[in-house]
Structure 1
Amino acid sequence: MRSATSPQASASLTRIGRLLQFSDSTLPVGSFAFSNGLESAIQTGVVKDTPSLKEFVDLVVRQGARMDGIALLHAHRAVMQGNYEGVLAADQALWRRRVGEEQQMMITRMGKKLAELTLRITDSEFMTQWLDDIKADKTPGCYPVGQGVALANFGASEQEAFVLHQYGIASMVLSAALRLMRVDHNDTQTILFEIQERLDEDYEAVREKSLEDMSVFAPIFDVLVAHHTKTHVRLFMN
């Protein structure tokens, strides 16, 4: 017997498919060019094997939740409330707290590319205005804020947007690890699977935080960012 599919179910399946598309590591926003500090971590011996790689990814994901993740949630909520000024506030707040020229370069390059990609495949009033303001130097264009805008436009809940953001952070580092050290896809997929156990914990930790609450104490990561800026031999932009 042929089963009927309701319009609501079809819309839900379409939404899931599009969310998967925007969580894909092959999304052309330039993430392949960045290691999120891993390159320097390997060069300095902070990361040297699979266990230390997992510890590093855990640190980066935790930091991402408490900085970028908060900005993403506020940008997503601003779109859902029709509050464009809220998007700009999240963008500026995150930019002011980013440490290091390379980190700023990473989030703004990827942010602009995400905005351009989104507008090539769909319409978004908020994204159009945001990209115009980026080009006019009225706002920095941070990638997590762009994710919040794009995913709200695609019908993602804020929890789903947060998950995709955190997944993307871990995936970026692990993809770089495959090119920088002796690990294979089984190792990186195992780490990715285990790291996602902390998603509920991280979301609960930040969901009520204000933009002023964005802060992370991770001196090792800050030192690695500074180290990479001065190194002469490198594969990644950060």
Structure 2
Amino acid sequence: MPPHSLLQLIWLASPALPVGGFSYSEGLEAAIEWAGVQDEATASDWLIGQLHLSLAPGDLAVVAEATRAWRAMDMPRVRALNAWVFTTRESAEFLLQTEQMGRSFVEWLKLHHADAATCFDGVPATYPVAFAFAAARSGASVADGCLAFAFGWAENMTAAAVKAVPLGQSAGQRMLARLAQDIPAAVQDALARTDDTRQAFSPLLAILSARHETQYSRLFRS
């Protein structure tokens, strides 16, 4: 991979990117109260399950398809994928997350890509579709862009677990190492998905997200 492409992916995966990912736990905080997540082992198992059952067949598959669409400047395809993400948010919190992170990502993109404002004109972007735009412009392969997206998610979720369970930093690093081992397989799954096999159906996660809306003493927005 050319150095420029590698640096772009490192930048995109960084939790320091000003899109607000650190403020969401994606149901994990509710799982700590109601679904038995209570230590390093259960938190790690929860996130591994979420990676394979929710992220890979859903948002990660969208990143792969949207990256190809952005490279071809196939705007009908981009809009269709964007609409699919909006439609599949199963709680108000998940909808808020993809809207807010997508909007913040587009504002960041406008600082770095001259055509971003034009490309997103009239397209309220979801986070996976906005990320795919940056991945497409990086020159990296679709698979490498998906790896960056998945690792950025894993880093944010591990940080959420460290704060909310709570866990120590060493436990967080062990969890991140385990997630990193599983990410390549999740990316391969995402790359193989089509419109007929892409799916976003995680009933327990949706229920926990809805319960989180009224959870007492929350740290996170989802």
With the shorter chain as reference, the TM-score category is over 0.9
TM-score between both structures, scaled by the size of structure 1: 0.87
Aligned with 1:27: secondary structure?
A: coil
Aligned with 1:132: secondary structure?
A: coil
Give the equivalent residue in structure 2 for 1:205: 189
Q: Number of residue pairs matched?
A: 221
| 1:178 aligns with one of 146, 154, 162 | 162
How far apart, CA to CA, are the structure 1 residues paired with 2:209 and 2:44? Answer: 18
How far apart, CA to CA, are the structure 2 residues paired with 1:219 and 1:200? Answer: 25
Please state how far the C-alpha of 1:177 moved relative to its aligned partner: 1.6
Question: Does 2:120 align with 1:131?
Answer: yes
**Are the counterparts in 1 of residues 37 and 165 from structure 2 also a CA contact under 8 Å?**
no
**Are the counterparts in 2 of residues 73 and 162 from structure 1 also a CA contact under 8 Å?**
yes
Residues 112-148 of structure 1, C-alpha deviations (whole Å, 9 max, x = no match)? 111110111232x3x32343224xxxxx411011111
How far apart, CA to CA, are the structure 1 residues paired with 2:81 and 2:200? Answer: 16
Please state how far the C-alpha of 1:154 moved relative to its aligned partner: 1.5
**Are the counterparts in 2 of residues 75 and 87 from structure 1 also a CA contact under 8 Å?**
yes
Please state how far the C-alpha of 1:152 moved relative to its aligned partner: 0.6
Give the equivalent residue in structure 2 for 1:57: 47
Please state how far the C-alpha of 1:51 moved relative to its aligned partner: 0.3
Kindly report which structure 2 residues correspond to 1:20-59, keeping only aligned pairs within 5 A, or say none.
20-59=10-49
Residues 28-83 of structure 1, C-alpha deviations (whole Å, 9 max, x = no match)? 10112111111111122521000001011112212111100111111100012221
Distance 1:14 1:223, change over 3 A: same
Please state how far the C-alpha of 1:150 moved relative to its aligned partner: 1.0
Kindly report which structure 2 residues correspond to 1:85-124, keeping only aligned pairs within 5 A, or say none.
85-123=76-114
Question: Does 2:198 align with 1:214?
Answer: yes
Identity, % of aligned pairs? 23
How far apart, CA to CA, are the structure 1 residues paired with 2:195 and 2:108? Answer: 27
Distance 1:112 1:130, change over 3 A: farther
Aligned with 1:230: secondary structure?
A: coil
Q: Which runs of 5+ in 1 are unaligned?
A: 1-8, 135-139
**Are the counterparts in 1 of residues 13 and 152 from structure 2 also a CA contact under 8 Å?**
yes
How far apart, CA to CA, are the structure 1 residues paired with 2:45 and 2:99? Answer: 27
Please state how far the C-alpha of 1:212 moved relative to its aligned partner: 4.1
Aligned-residue Cα RMSD (Å) equals 1.7
How far apart, CA to CA, are the structure 2 residues paired with 1:24 and 1:191? Answer: 17
Give the equivalent residue in structure 2 for 1:142: 126
How far apart, CA to CA, are the structure 1 residues paired with 2:10 and 2:196? Answer: 31
**Are the counterparts in 2 of residues 93 and 212 from structure 1 also a CA contact under 8 Å?**
no
How far apart, CA to CA, are the structure 2 residues paired with 1:96 and 1:182? Answer: 33
What is the one-letter code of the residue matched to 1:116? E
Give the equivalent residue in structure 1 for 2:58: 67
Q: Greater shift after overlay, 177-186 or 66-75?
A: 177-186
Aligned with 1:215: secondary structure?
A: coil
What is the one-letter code of the residue matched to 1:177? A
How far apart, CA to CA, are the structure 1 residues paired with 2:146 and 2:14? Answer: 15
What is the one-letter code of the residue matched to 1:131? F
4+ runs deviating over 3 angstroms? none
TM-score between both structures, scaled by the size of structure 2: 0.92
Aligned with 1:25: secondary structure?
A: coil
Give the equivalent residue in structure 1 for 2:70: 79
Question: Does 2:180 align with 1:189?
Answer: no
What is the one-letter code of the residue matched to 1:50? E
What is the one-letter code of the residue matched to 2:135? L
How far apart, CA to CA, are the structure 1 residues paired with 2:59 and 2:46? Answer: 17
